[in-house]
Structure 1
Amino acid sequence: MSTASPANQTQAGEKLLRVMFFTLILSVMNATMFNVALPSISEEFHLSPSQVSWIVTGYIIVYAIGSVTYGKLADTYRLKDLLTFGLFFFALGSIVGLMATEFWMVITGRILQSMGASVIPATGMLIPVRYFSPEKRGRALGTTTAGLALGTAIGPIVAGFVTSLASWRFLFCLSLLVLLTLPFFRKYLDDAKGHAKKTDLLGGGLMAGTIAFLLLAVTNGTWTPMFIGAILLVLFIWRIRSVDHPFIQPALFRNKQYTYGILIAFLSTGLSFGIPFITPLMLSNLNHLAPAVIGFIMFPGALTASLLGKTGGKIADGKGNAQLIYTAVILLFISFSSLSLVAGLSPLIVMIFLVFGNVGQTFMQIAMSNLVSRTLPKEQAGVGMGLLMMMNFISGATATTIISKMLDFGTSSLQFNPFLLYRPALIYSNIFAVLAFMVIVVCTIFYFRLGRGVKRTV
């Protein structure tokens, strides 16, 4: 890989972490800002909710495919070249969106943005793996996760001000700020790359098709894309088992620690997505708060999670990933079970318990990323971490769809939390109760499959 001395490599890694922190803030803001602008875009182009939702759906699909594709390519090509390529497409998409006069131009701009932006989470995972020893990797991952949390916190607030004071098109201008980071990446990233390999384009295409159709099935709740995605998945598995240089090595999935790590990360990410998805709906429908006020209610939790990201990394480095995971489980359980109790009451009370949930979500992400990274050999780090990011996107889409279906059923005669204080909030209380129960399930799976062997070594 790199010929630099360990000291110089660590020094470069520290500088890259600071650049990556800023980049991730902008990347996450770009992903979340347009959710706030959907009503304005829908009104301007006279679109139905299902039509305008493609601004989000299309972005997620391409982002998921890109995250694993860039991860795969990072095992062969220089990371600085992939970043240059990705940020070029990101800028191109921003310019197209800024000049959009038709809805198809908005979609094109978002897809081009997603094609480029998906290099950023792959890079955010690989820099800690490549530039820091396993003993120091937790703190590095804590820094990158803090950037994700801060971007999540300020994205909707910034978008609200921009769309209120100007036009939603200026959101594309804000996205261009990420280009400021490119010279620093070019300077501090080394020239390390893997051995040139033949790229299995057919296998990559089958994988992309599988992800696209499965995500379409999840986000739209239809069976036809699910059926097509299942067929493509079978073909993809056949392909990687039958060629000499497959897009993804089957040996990756024979790594039991990695496989269980991916499974636990998938489940825990789905739980975490419940917080930013259901909370705005609850505050709007039960407390009748405006979007801007909802953003400020959710802000302290995301900000606290960002500030404690490095602390979570230090816990992982000093006491082990298992300790951080159990801490995250306790925080998430406190958050979900308490929100199940106080749903519909004062937003200030909800704000307090959102802090527990956001910090637990951040700690869990740090621990699982660190744990999974330690199960991978260097030659599989890129694609392995890319698959982790891809599964996170699929998990989030699945979780939001399931929660949406639960909300569609409306009121229920069942009451999972017997101590609920506000009866009209029953459906939200039940959802938070289910999430609290799933936290226990995730903890149980981790303990019996990885926890007893993970301790301080993984």
Structure 2
Amino acid sequence: MDVSTSLAQSKRNKLMIILTSVLVISAMNTTMFNVALPAIGEQFSLSPSQTGWIVTSYLIIFAVGVTIYGKLADQYKLKTLITTGIILMALGSLIGLLALNYPLLVIARVIQAAGAAVLPALAMIIPTRYFTPETRGRAIGMTSAGLTFGIAIGPIIAGLILTSFSWNKLFIIPLVMVLSIPIFRKYLGDEKGTQSKIDFIGALLLVATIVSFMLVISQSSWILFILFVLFLGAFVWRIKITKNPFIHPVLFKNKSYTFTLLTFALGAGAAFSLPYLSPLLFVNVNHLSPFASGLFMFPGALIAALLAKTGGKIADTRGNATLAYMTILLFLICFGLLSFFAGASAYLVMVILILGYVAQSQWQVAMANTLSNTLSKEQVGIGMGLFMLVNFVASSIAGTFIGRALSSRSSFSFNPWHNQASGGEYSNIYVVLSVVVIITAILYTVVLRTTKNKKSN
């Protein structure tokens, strides 16, 4: 019996509600500590680079973990994986709550990330496994809504907590997720994939490749780049000679999958500018406080979360292509307008950002749904795990380039009609992002043609 039909509709709905709720808390945990970095740095007398590792270490382990859990989901019960992940996250939260020094704090965040990574991986796998293609878009829309809302509300909740309590109280919030374990174990089935042996050498080489690449992006070191090339070469060699490789090469020979993944990466990189660049614009150009900038960003994220399920319905009824082109158009309008109005009234920018946040949420829905349809049942776990990995890697790359663009302080304006007193460097970035969106649209058209040709053959 097909897994998608073996679980009753009522149970599937309850499963998605609890999954979405947990995703909100997980996403909050990712962004809350960004607000707390100044307080942590002051307490432990840390340099900016040291405080940065509180975030960087979390993101690196998180990105690696998403892929690992995706692979494990092809072989083990989802209820076992999510139980293990939530327990690990709770353990890391307890260590962080009691952390009295910087090294212990970093260890706490690493353990948190090792557990939390199970959630975005399963957020893509559960809809694919338990929902039919005709209803999958709505389910992915719910998970996207949870992630979007959690990312938006995290800095606001952190700001409220930090006004009355110390930063380590932020570790209390993730502990709430432990309450979800009995519910997951009740509603998730006992289905599991094949029991073939895991290629641990391949897994370690993949981890080394991902970590070295993330470090290259953040540190810009030639030594790290050489290590990345060596690890990548060793990983490619490993999956070619091993009978049961960690990632089967046939996955990358699937042109529909690889083109979709590349297209998603470009869009995800552009979308990352919204939570990354917007607070900098509000603080540095509009001179708002960090807490106030979070409030100005919140309406867009809230509306995006509310509309995420609607986007899923559009994908289910009118097709993924309709939703994808709608999001591309919204991105283009948002970035185009911001290239004109960067530095204008914060209220005007807030309204424009609503378009971008809606596009960001719907883009993930459209591309996750598109990608899931290119995968066989045996490839769903690792295929969707790589999807989430690409999201983090693309975001890291985009963040690095945006940071360097802001540091360049060029007086040249890509948009000659930008006539605000300040914000010229931001306007230039939004022009570049508009070009990236146009390239994304072209690539997505190629994806559609590749998929149609594959079906016709």
**Class of the TM-score when normalised by the shorter of the 2 chains:** over 0.9
Aligned to 1:28: 27
C-alpha distance in structure 1 between counterparts of 2:37 and 2:99, whole Å = 15
- CA displacement at 1:454 relative to structure 2: 5.7
C-alpha distance in structure 2 between counterparts of 1:173 and 1:120, whole Å = 18
C-alpha distance in structure 2 between counterparts of 1:284 and 1:203, whole Å = 44
- CA displacement at 1:87 relative to structure 2: 1.0
2:413 is aligned with what amino acid?
Q
Distance 1:5-1:139 versus aligned 2 partners, 3 A rule: closer
Q: Is the 8 A contact 2:217 2:397 kept in 1?
A: yes
C-alpha distance in structure 2 between counterparts of 1:224 and 1:5, whole Å = 47
2:246 is aligned with what amino acid?
F
Aligned to 1:231: 230
Pairing 1:83–2:55 present: no
User: Unpaired segments of 5 or more residues in structure 1?
Assistant: none
Pairing 1:438–2:447 present: no
Pairing 1:8–2:7 present: yes
Aligned to 1:170: 169
Aligned to 1:104: 103
2:440 is aligned with what amino acid?
V
Aligned to 2:59: 60
Q: What do residues 230-249 of structure 1 show as CA deviations (whole Å, max 9, x unaligned)?
A: 11001000000001010110
Aligned to 1:415: 413
Distance 1:5-1:160 versus aligned 2 partners, 3 A rule: closer
C-alpha distance in structure 2 between counterparts of 1:262 and 1:452, whole Å = 13
C-alpha distance in structure 2 between counterparts of 1:347 and 1:133, whole Å = 43
Distance 1:452-1:82 versus aligned 2 partners, 3 A rule: closer
Task: Provide the TM-score with structure 2 as the length reference.
Answer: 0.97
Distance 1:8-1:148 versus aligned 2 partners, 3 A rule: same
Q: What do residues 205-253 of structure 1 show as CA deviations (whole Å, max 9, x unaligned)?
A: 0000000010011022222212211110010000000010101100000
1:401 is aligned with what amino acid?
T
Task: Provide the TM-score with structure 1 as the length reference.
Answer: 0.97
Q: Is the 8 A contact 1:80 1:185 kept in 2?
A: yes
Aligned with 1:211: secondary structure? helix
2:330 is aligned with what amino acid?
L
- CA displacement at 1:451 relative to structure 2: 5.4
Aligned to 2:382: 383
Aligned to 1:313: 312
- CA displacement at 1:260 relative to structure 2: 0.4
- CA displacement at 1:448 relative to structure 2: 2.6
**Aligned pair partner of 1:428 in 422, 426, 429:** 426
- CA displacement at 1:4 relative to structure 2: 6.8
Distance 1:44-1:255 versus aligned 2 partners, 3 A rule: same
- CA displacement at 1:437 relative to structure 2: 1.2
Aligned to 1:145: 144
Pairing 1:17–2:22 present: no
2:369 is aligned with what amino acid?
N
Distance 1:186-1:178 versus aligned 2 partners, 3 A rule: same
Q: Is the 8 A contact 1:16 1:127 kept in 2?
A: no
Q: Is the 8 A contact 1:142 1:313 kept in 2?
A: yes
Q: Is the 8 A contact 1:13 1:127 kept in 2?
A: no
Distance 1:454-1:26 versus aligned 2 partners, 3 A rule: farther
Alignment of 1:353-392 (within 5 A): 353-392=352-391
User: Unpaired segments of 5 or more residues in structure 2?
Assistant: none
1:419 is aligned with what amino acid?
W
Pairing 1:258–2:254 present: no
RMSD of aligned alpha carbons:
1.5
Aligned with 1:308: secondary structure? helix
Aligned to 1:92: 91
Aligned to 1:284: 283
Q: What do residues 322-353 of structure 1 show as CA deviations (whole Å, max 9, x unaligned)?
A: 10011001111111010110111100000000
Q: What do residues 258-279 of structure 1 show as CA deviations (whole Å, max 9, x unaligned)?
A: 0001101111100000111111
Q: Taking every aligned residue pair, what percent have the same amino acid on both sides?
A: 45
Q: What do residues 178-202 of structure 1 show as CA deviations (whole Å, max 9, x unaligned)?
A: 1111111010000000121111110
Q: What do residues 151-181 of structure 1 show as CA deviations (whole Å, max 9, x unaligned)?
A: 0111010001111210110100011111111
Q: Is the 8 A contact 1:10 1:131 kept in 2?
A: no
C-alpha distance in structure 2 between counterparts of 1:423 and 1:220, whole Å = 33
Aligned to 1:400: 399
